[in-house]
Amino acid sequence: MSSQPPAIIDRQPWLHRVLLLWLDPLFRLGATRPLVDSDIWHLGAQDTAVRLSRRFARHWGTAHDRRPSSLVRAICRTFAREMTVVATLSVAYSLLVQYQPPLIHLLMTVVTRSDDTIDDTSGYWYAALLAVVSLVSVTILDSSFFVTAQLATNVKTVVMDLVLSQSLHCPDAATSSGDVITMVAVDSTRLFVGFVALPWLVVPVVTLPLLYTAIGSMMGWQVGVAGGLTLLVVMAGGYYFAHAAGNLRHDLMAAQAARVKATDELLAGIRVVKMYRWEASLENRVTSLRDAELALQHTYQFGSELNAIGLLVAPTLSLMACVVVYVVGLGHALTPTVAFTAMAYVNIARLPCNLFAFAVMRVTEAVTSAHRIEAFIQSSPATIPSASSTTSTSSTTSIADDDMVAEAVVDMHEASFASTNQPRGDPLTPPPSSSRSACILHQLNLTIPQHQLTMIVGPVGSGKSSVLKAILGELELVAGHMEATTTRVAYASQEPWLQQTTIRSNITFQSDNANISDHYATVLSACQLLPDLASFPQGDCTVLGDRGVNLSGGQRARVALARAMYRQDADLVLLDDPLSALDSHVAKTVFEQGIRGVLAEKSVILVLNSHYHLLPFADTIVVMEGGRVVRQGSFATMQQHLTSLSYPQTSKTCPPSTTLADQLLSLASPNPTSTSSHVRTANPLKTQPPVDESSPLLVVAPTSDVALDTYVAYFDASGWHGISVMAGVGGMYLLSQGVVVAADAALTSVTSLCLYVALAVAAMLLLFTRGICALLLNLACAKTLHRQLLHAVVSAPVPTFFDVTPLGRILHRFTSDLFDVDSRMPTSAVYLLQCQFQVLGIAVVCGAALPCSIVFCAPLTLLVTRIYTRFSHTSPALTRLAAAHRAPFVAFATETLRGLSTIRAFDQTEHFETNGRRLLDKAQSYLLVQFLASRWLQMRMDGLSAGMVAAVAFCCVWSRATVGVVGAGLALTYVTQLSGFLSRAVMGHAEVAEHMTSVERMVEYIGIKSEGAKSEGPVGGSRSTTALAEWPSQGAVTFANYSMRYRAGLELSLKHVSLSVRAGEKVGICGRTGGGKSSLLAALFRTVEAASGRIMIDGVDIATVDLAILRSRLTIIPQDPVVFSGSVRFNLDPTLTT
């Protein structure tokens, strides 16, 4: 992207900007080759996230000071100038389009006058004026869409940046990944679409009163009132239903967020899920949530479709009311001139009426989404305690050691802390104030001395990690006080948090090209990472997979620990049990060279759940139990005082009456050898050149067009044959359009009034039927596609799919892509068919009434085809590029949510905001170009439509001696609708193709080869269930020359392993981190298939056993714990069968 100048839009001449001529080179390029990143331009400086966030902050602050605050109000104030421009252009279009019916009336007067009182020159002038009015009006409207595109893109940028920024300041417990992902991927899109629909809230308000005023002046005020009231009643009903449907979105989005959260949990814990054979149960859980979501979706879509159909037939009902009042009520004769002029007025109302329903629903949805985001923004941010120049010097309590005289870096006095994630009704309602009953830490009296090593020990669940969270400000202080002398903190969490970037960037929070100090190599050596890095082809520039899946548990822990050690300016280092994943030898070395070496001059708090032999090296030991500090002092003090505190029985070496003190002391060396604080000097680190971090995230199909197979696959999902379904839908729309044309043709005289009413009623019934059928078809397709997608993803192999595919990209299929299929596809598809058959009707009417106009239809069709062909080569590529650059931002947000405590502890909030904004700006630049590409197409289609209006008008004048008045009236009233329907038919085709790229991506994932397919293993699952009914009965395990690699092209992880474990034996597997211990277990569960050799359990080769049977007969305590939202009972057994 850097090869193109930024802000290219702003550098264009005024005419080029209005006509979007600056996009022509992009379409010419897209017609010759697939587009790449360098072909798309940067956003202008005024459209970047950082500039827009500052602009919004001024107005949000003003709105936020009021109660209740309003995100919508703040957005409207921020972009008041752009919204004013959109409104002005919309009003100008509404005023100008009113001149079309009078000009049609004048042209029909010319056609009906066979004498010489009106010559052809006047008719040609009228025709020219009609063409100019048509061209100028649509140009003004298209210009408003250009401004709307920039406005909507900027609003989406502000909202996505706001959600990410707030996520970085919300406590962990108050931040739901499902809610945040939904807000970033779905709610922001709804706000975007809502602002895109703004012009169609303005146009009907201005256009419709003027139309019926003009009808009243021509046919009598009673007629105008009757037609206007009929339309007003239908539109009021439409507004009510649209508003109700929009409000239903609140429940629908809550259901969607619940499904996304469950999907996120399932995918994040997929390795454990597969080992426990929980796929079916958790898949059913997500499917049940999906069914509840689809039930709401069905109600919403049904109400929306009824509303859309009502507004679609509203102009017809209005015209019927006008004609009946004019003929029956007032007793006037209905002439063709009056009839078709009235029809021309009413036809102007068709497009605003159709899009008014769309606008009301989309704006209502946008407001609902804004309220969800607003509630999230108003949640209380987490704050690290501010530095205090005053340190408490009072004695803590009677259990504190008297010899603690060192100055404290952290001092707590009677401090109680609680989580801010309290139970609440709405998922995003700000939590209520915490109370003492909700406290998880009680009346802490704790002093952390400066420049000393403090170790915190205690039973599981005693509050050790919570103490660190409290110091970091992640818990709410509800009683007592806490003082800190620093805010420069380093932190290693209990579960290592790693980004999907290089090892170097994970440690330094810097790019790979940034200069690093010698301290970096020292840290790597102290954390024993140099041997591991030497085994990686690209050293510390190796890109980690999602959650660091390509590292062992010990390697992940040491990378996280290295990050904490690397921060040189930290005064306080918090280490939450980082040694538990390390074997004794490595832990001892890391402790000596790292914690007592690199961090020797720091204030260090080390939580221990194991490795108690290190306790004698602590300057201070803090013992926790039940969320309270029960003792604080030196190691000698612990030996003297802790004699009665019981500890759960966990080891055969500890008698049932053992105390916590006895167990801790028995594991500690009685005469520890002194460890050197000297850090070995490591050799200079040698790494390969940095790799492109973005390459794993951006895999874009090189083709441009969406294949026909994708459309067939979509309709096949309905349960019927795809081709047959498409043919049936097309036939239904063709029949209904034919009845509509016949009804309009019948509106010529009083004698055909009854026929007109009958045909109009039939047309409305057909419109209703086709709309409901299309709705049910789309819902059936969406349900099936999600079910197939979920099953395919859950069944996918770990090493070749989950280890190489970012979780954010997978979630993108279940959020943005599924949103396209659920919500946007039905609307776009129905509107496409509606507009396409309307264009077909216009072509047939004009050709039948004015045969000479067929001469102009051929070049028009040729131009439309040429322009659309150029567009169709470029638009899908833009859509894919936009999706490919949107997914990294979603992945970044997902990844960031998992590491909020670490990010805030390292004071990296601004850094992550900057990185998020960089990804957001890139994604939004593609979104803007993608949306403006549609405006480019619409503007050219509208220009061609204005040309066709001119051709038909001139043909009417030229052949007025032979053309009938009915034919001329039909041709003129129909052709003036072409500008509205042709552009939207072609754009609708592009939008459906755009949404089909979402289907294409889903179908691509549906086609993933399932885990355990017979082609994967050397033998495949071939043993029958009956033969394995009692297997395994003994549990003897044999590895016979077994080798395994995680993916093709990688080195073997296990090389010719041969070992035997006899039945009933208890075997410990030890070795250096990264030595293959976890790989042995992965081999037993066949999460990775063998490269050679075999594994026998009770004499049965596991490669011949069906995966479901194999995993159901084994169990495991995984290295990385996985917890699902729900009850303890559900987490113990999601199958709920025991």
pLDDT at residue 11 above 60? yes
Omega of the bond prior to 68 within 30 degrees of 0, cis? yes
Give the per-residue pLDDT at 85: 92
Q: Please give the Cα distance from 266 to 259 (Å, whole number).
A: 10
Considering the chain, what percentage of its residues have pLDDT values greater than 70?
A: 81
Neighbours of 71 (CB within 10 A): 26
The whole-number average pLDDT for the span 1018-1023 is 50
- Answer yes or no: is pLDDT of 1017 > 50: no
Q: Would you state the pLDDT for residue 694?
A: 39
Q: Report whether pLDDT(389) > 60.
A: no
Residue 295 — pLDDT band, cuts 50, 70, 90? confident
Residue 733 pLDDT > 70 = no
Lowest mean pLDDT among 255-264, 407-416, 491-500, 817-826: 817-826
pLDDT of residue 155 exceeding 90:
yes
pLDDT at 730: 64
SS3 letters across 738-757? HHHHHHHHCCCCHHHHHHHH
CATH topology (fold) of 14-23+45-379+717-1006: ABC transporter transmembrane region fold (1.20.1560)
Give mean pLDDT, residues 319-335: 83
Which of 104-118, 604-618, 662-676 is most confident?
604-618
β-sheet with 1100-1101: strand ranges across: 1054-1061, 1037-1044, 1092-1097, 1100-1101
Better-predicted residue by pLDDT, 723 or 371: 371
Please say if the pLDDT value at position 270 is more than 50: yes
Confidence tier at 403 by pLDDT (50, 70, 90): very low
CATH of domain 408-420+437-667: 3.40.50.300
Give the residue with greater pLDDT, 424 vs 667.
667
pLDDT digits (tens, 9 = 90+) for 242-251: 667 666 777 8
DSSP state of 603: E
Distance from C-alpha of 938 to C-alpha of 142, rounded to nearest angstrom: 7
- What is the per-residue pLDDT across 663-692, written as a single tens digit (0 to 9) for each? 444 444 444 343 333 333 333 344 444 444
Domain 408-420+437-667 shares a fold with domain 1037-1132: yes
Please report the pLDDT score of residue 1019 as a whole number.
43
User: Which tops the pLDDT comparison, 61 or 1053?
Assistant: 1053
C-alpha to C-alpha distances, 29 to 700, 702, 824, 873, nearest whole angstrom: 17, 14, 29, 10
Q: Which residue has the higher pLDDT, 549 or 799?
A: 799
Indicate whether 963 pLDDT > 70.
yes
Mean pLDDT of the chain: 77
Domain 1037-1132 belongs in CATH node 3.40.120.10: no
Q: Which two tokens stand for residue 301?
A: 């879509």
Of residues 335 and 212, which shows the higher confidence score?
212
Is the pLDDT assigned to residue 722 strictly greater than 70? no
Question: Does 574 or 685 have the greater pLDDT score?
Answer: 574
Higher pLDDT, 1126 or 512: 1126
Q: What's the pLDDT at 820?
A: 82
User: Which pLDDT band holds residue 1018 (cuts at 50, 70, 90)?
Assistant: very low
Q: Tell me: the pLDDT tens digits for 463-498?
A: 888 888 888 888 888 888 888 887 788 998 888 888
- Cα 916-922-927 angle, rounded to 5 deg: 120
Which has more pLDDT, 939 or 754?
Answer: 939
**With contact defined as beta carbons under 8 Å apart, do 307 and 241 qualify?**
yes
**pLDDT band of 397, cuts 50, 70, 90:** very low
pLDDT at 814: 87
Contact indicator for 729, 837 with CB cutoff of 8 Å: no
Lowest mean pLDDT among 58-67, 70-79, 112-121, 215-224: 58-67
Q: Tell me which of 690 and 329 has the higher pLDDT.
A: 329
Phi, psi dihedral angles at 1038 (to 5 degrees): -135, 125
Domain ranges of the chain: 14-23+45-379+717-1006, 408-420+437-667, 1037-1132
Q: Is the peptide bond before 6 cis (omega within 30 degrees of 0)?
A: no
> Looking at the predicted structure, is the pLDDT value of residue 656 above 50?
no
Task: Decide: helix, strand or coil at residue 1133.
Answer: coil
* Adjacent-strand bridge partners of 489: 572
Q: In the predicted model, what is the mean pLDDT of residues 573-601? A: 87
Q: Note the pLDDT tens digit of each residue in 616-633.
A: 888 888 888 888 888 888
Mean pLDDT (whole number) for 886-899: 82
DSSP code, position 544: P
Cα dihedral 488/494/496/497 (nearest 10):
-60
Q: In Å, how far are 215, 228, 234 from 329, measured between CA atoms? A: 16, 16, 22
The whole-number pLDDT of residue 156 equals: 92
What's the pLDDT at 153? 92
In this model, does residue 715 exceed pLDDT 80?
no
As a whole number, mean pLDDT of residues 118-145 equals 86
State the DSSP H helix or E strand holding residue 32, giving kind and residue range, or none if neither: helix 24-32
Q: What distance in Å separates the CA atoms of residue 832 and residue 860, rounded to the nearest whole number?
A: 20
Write down the pLDDT at residue 431: 38
